[in-house]
Amino acid sequence: MPDLYDSAQERELQNQQDAQAAHIARQCAEPAQLIVDGQVLCIDCDEAVQPGRLAAKPTAARCIHCQGIQERKGAQHGR
């Protein structure tokens, strides 16, 4: 019979695997960038994606404002 520590360790490992799978799924679900004349435009508002955002996340497809809206929508839907 597994003891309490073994059970806790198994649950922790499962939680880590679930979190990693969710992270990979989010990465795969990212939309493609909209590039016009060498500039990345937000796929939601068509404004230029801020250079600082692109420096932090080179694959960003949304400006910081629209990304925030998208994340709040996801949080409301339990994602």
Cα separations in angstroms, 60 against 11, 38, 51, 52: 34, 14, 10, 11
Distance (Å, whole) CA 34 – CA 49: 10
| 25 or 8: which leads in pLDDT | 8
Q: Residue 34 phi/psi, 5° resolution? A: -105, 110
pLDDT of residue 76: 78
**pLDDT tier at 27 (50, 70, 90 boundaries)?**
low
* Spans of all domains in the chain: 1-30, 32-79
CB 74 within 8 A of CB 67: no
pLDDT of residue 8: 86
pLDDT of residue 63: 96
What is the pTM for the complete model shown?
A: 0.58
Among candidate residues 52, 51, 21, the one with its CA nearest the CA of residue 38: 51
Tens of pLDDT, residue by residue over 31-68, are 889 999 999 999 999 999 999 999 999 999 999 999 99
